[in-house]
Amino acid sequence: MNYLHTFSQELPAVFDGVKLAAVATVLYILVRCLNLMSPTAPPEIVYQDTLLSRYLLKSCPMLTKEYIPPLLWGKSGHLQTALYGKMGRVNTPTPHGVRKFLPMLQDGATATFDLFEALGDHSTGDDITMVICPGIGNHSEKNYIRTFVDYSQQQGYRCAVLNHLGALPNMELTSPRMFTCGCTWEFAAMVGYIRRAFPQTLLVVVGFSLGGNIVCKYLGENRSNQERVLCGVSVCQGYSALRAQETFFQWDQCRRLYNFVLANSMKKLILPHRDSLLSLNSSSIADADLSRVSAATSLMQIDDSIMRKFHGYSSLNEYYEKESCVHYIHKITVPLLLVNSLDDPLVHPSLLAVPRSLTEKMPNVMFALTQHGGHMGFFEGAVLLPQRLSWMDKAIVEYADAICHWEKKKRWSLCERSGHGDANVCSLNTEATHSG
């Protein structure tokens, strides 16, 4: 009886110990999963020491001060990515734009973009247009795009946002083709329209994720594409689709799971266009190709079944090789900011060797690498609810503003040396100002 009495007294203490151990285990897992012990830090900035880079570091505090994500969850790249993927942004504004249709493409496709006028004068007094290429399968109605456009408008920028071919709801295809990871035709058509409609405007080129690959490829494809371009900005791209495809089958950082999720998102874009892709003349797509898309569990299967065939690539490797900006980006001479996050679960750290290598060879390139931010997240704010604007939104506009002022001063200097009193009468082709 004494033994049973003693045991009954000790039993609650044992249970209390188990509870404490369970709580400690859960807390440990949360700390590890949420990466709470990871310190915050300023972005790592890789660049060559030039007058321009010194000016940028002085003029862009977003690039030099500590990036602090939301306390409880912001240090998790997965949660940042998931929140971006699900919500885009919070308290999203609704900028008012005009949709433009461009039916004059090479194969009869109809490109569309949305045009948003500036809500005030730019601080330089110049007419400046941001030409924006969204991420995979995205368009001007996405929350992160609307937030960025609204902020840019308030800072005096006109914005033109490409709608990826086949991505807009209820917009039928007029040729047997959708957007691909590196086709620049639609973006070039939009930029061409802006140049014709606003002959005095200067351009800031911005690309997000897959859009970053497209804009860098566009700028490097032809030197004339850089005329009247003040600078380019690319955020969260992977630079080489050929190298990236291997990493997307790895379970490290759950990339295989992300691959599956992205494949399902692509299927939701492609399959509603089944009739258009099959019925239009000269279509290279067969019903069997679309059946394989329906069964696909990875982006690579979709790319091999249908995406590469839009441009007649004979193999998946050829498609990835030819559509990646890594073969064109070294030809860009305008100032270029490349932004990535170290905890981006979609961009393997090995791919970041590309921008690092570029900065060693190209004085016009600056590479900013944040510790946190995930893929296209970069949320800032309090413990739980993030702010409407992200670190990314503010950093891009701040960099663009700094470049605009830098180029304005250079144009004034050129005008003074040439005898003109007004910088606005000088050539708007800023190519000459980028040398040196």
Domain termination site, one of 323, 343, 371 = 323
- List pLDDT tens digits, range 252-282: 889 999 999 999 999 999 999 998 898 765 5
The answer to whether position 365 is within a domain reads: yes
- 12: confidence class by pLDDT, cuts 50, 70, 90: low
Nearest to 332 by CA among 434, 429, 241, 406: 434
- 26: confidence class by pLDDT, cuts 50, 70, 90: very low
Of the listed ranges 241-250, 281-290, 357-366, 401-410, the one predicted with least confidence: 281-290
Domain identity same for 315 and 290: yes
Note whether 324 and 242 are within 8 A (CB). Answer: yes
The whole-angstrom separation of Cα 203 and Cα 130 is: 6
Mean pLDDT to the nearest integer, 200-222: 98
Nearest to 230 by CA among 92, 89, 428: 428
Domain identity same for 62 and 147: yes
The answer to whether position 433 is within a domain reads: no
Nearest to 339 by CA among 406, 391, 401, 386: 391
Domain identity same for 146 and 293: no
Would you list the DSSP string of 133-144?
E-STT--TTSHH
Mean pLDDT to the nearest integer, 129-139: 97
Q: What is the pLDDT of residue 234?
A: 98
The whole-angstrom separation of Cα 317 and Cα 96 is: 41
Domain identity same for 143 and 225: yes
Domain identity same for 285 and 349: no
Selected catalytic residue, list 127, 344, 393, 401: 344
Concerning whether 348 is annotated as a catalytic residue, the answer is no
Would you list the DSSP string of 24-88?
HHHHHHHHHHTTTTSPPBPPEEE----HHHHHHHHH-GGGTSPB---TTTTT-HHHHHHHHHHHS
Domain identity same for 59 and 84: yes
The answer to whether position 2 is within a domain reads: no
Domain identity same for 318 and 360: no
Q: Is pLDDT of 378 > 70?
A: yes
Please give the residue range of the domain that contains residue 191: 36-240+328-412
Q: What is the mean pLDDT of the chain?
A: 89
Q: Pull the structure tokens for residue 15.
A: 């249970």
Q: What is the pLDDT of residue 304?
A: 96
Q: What is the pLDDT of residue 78?
A: 95
Q: Which CATH number goes with the domain that contains 111? A: 3.40.50.1820
The answer to whether position 426 is within a domain reads: no
Domain termination site, one of 307, 323, 339 = 323
Written as one letter, the residue type at 366 is M
Of the listed ranges 17-26, 163-172, 228-237, 251-260, the one predicted with least confidence: 17-26
Domain identity same for 109 and 168: yes
Q: Is pLDDT of 431 > 50?
A: no
Selected catalytic residue, list 152, 209, 240, 324: 209
- List pLDDT tens digits, range 277-312: 987 655 678 888 999 999 999 999 999 999 999 999
The whole-angstrom separation of Cα 122 and Cα 187 is: 24
Domain identity same for 73 and 217: yes
- Which run of H or E residues covers position 2? helix 2-33
- 129: confidence class by pLDDT, cuts 50, 70, 90: very high
What pTM did the predictor assign? 0.90
- 128-133 sheet: strands from edge to edge: 44-46, 365-370, 336-341, 229-235, 202-208, 128-133, 158-163, 111-116, 98-102
Domain identity same for 152 and 216: yes
Domain termination site, one of 270, 303, 323 = 323
The answer to whether position 114 is within a domain reads: yes
Q: What is the pLDDT of residue 30?
A: 44
Q: What is the pLDDT of residue 412?
A: 82
The answer to whether position 23 is within a domain reads: no
Share of the chain above pLDDT 90, in %: 74
Would you list the DSSP string of 156-195?
T-EEEEEE-TTTSTT---SSS----SS--HHHHHHHHHHH
153 versus 20: the higher-pLDDT residue is 153
Domain identity same for 233 and 256: no
Q: Is pLDDT of 28 > 50?
A: no
- List pLDDT tens digits, range 387-410: 999 999 999 999 999 999 999 998
- List pLDDT tens digits, range 318-335: 999 999 999 999 999 999
> In the beta sheet, which residues pair with residue 79?
none
Selected catalytic residue, list 122, 375, 390, 393: 375
The answer to whether position 100 is within a domain reads: yes
Concerning whether 273 is annotated as a catalytic residue, the answer is no
Tell me which range, 32-41, 72-81, 117-126, is most confidently predicted by mean pLDDT: 117-126
Mean pLDDT to the nearest integer, 142-150: 97
Domain identity same for 53 and 108: yes
Concerning whether 375 is annotated as a catalytic residue, the answer is yes
Q: Number of structural domains, the chain?
A: 2
Note whether 218 and 164 are within 8 A (CB). Answer: no
The answer to whether position 213 is within a domain reads: yes
- List pLDDT tens digits, range 62-117: 999 999 999 889 999 999 999 999 889 988 999 999 999 999 677 889 999 999 99
